[in-house]
Amino acid sequence: MFEIHLHLVWVTRYRKPALIGAVGLRLRELARELCGEQDVHILKGHVSRDHVPLLVSVSRLVERLKEKTAYNTLDNFRYVFIKAFEGLFIDRMEQNEELFAKYMNNPNLQKLASEHLLKRVYEEISQDGTP
């Protein structure tokens, strides 16, 4: 488990004391509401006349983001990998023009090579739990 805390400070323009009375109360309500919706926990904070300091924990938000990105499937990875693989091949075409010509003119070779490497790279990345 980990904890990520952020210290945020909002300041009024020219430090004008505008956050008093109903405005300050409404701002406090909005901050609580928005933080609650986003899984951000307010640890400390208050509304002053010209600024609002907040100490917040974003650990739950980050954990949710990690969970969502952990579901990176092979199909999603395939698109990015194939584009990167083709780019690498094109960048190095001068080093071996014969191999480059075979690869570019043979769709079966393209599919075989890219699929084989795709699976090997994906499995290697996925082993540590972060595909």
Q: Which fold has domain 5-65?
A: Alpha-Beta Plaits (3.30.70)
Give the pLDDT score at 131: 44
Task: Tell me the pLDDT tens digit for each residue of 64-79.
Answer: 777 766 666 777 778 7
> Could you tell me the pTM of the whole model?
0.51
Q: List the domain boundaries for the chain.
A: 5-65, 72-126
3-state secondary structure of 53: strand
In the predicted structure, residue 130 carries a pLDDT above the cut 60: no
Number of H helices and number of E strands within the chain? 5, 3
Of the pLDDT bands very low, low, confident and very high (cuts 50, 70, 90), residue 57 is very high
Residue 42 has what pLDDT? 95
The two three-digit tokens of residue 28, written as one number: 């406090």
Positive or negative: CA dihedral 20, 21, 26, 32: positive
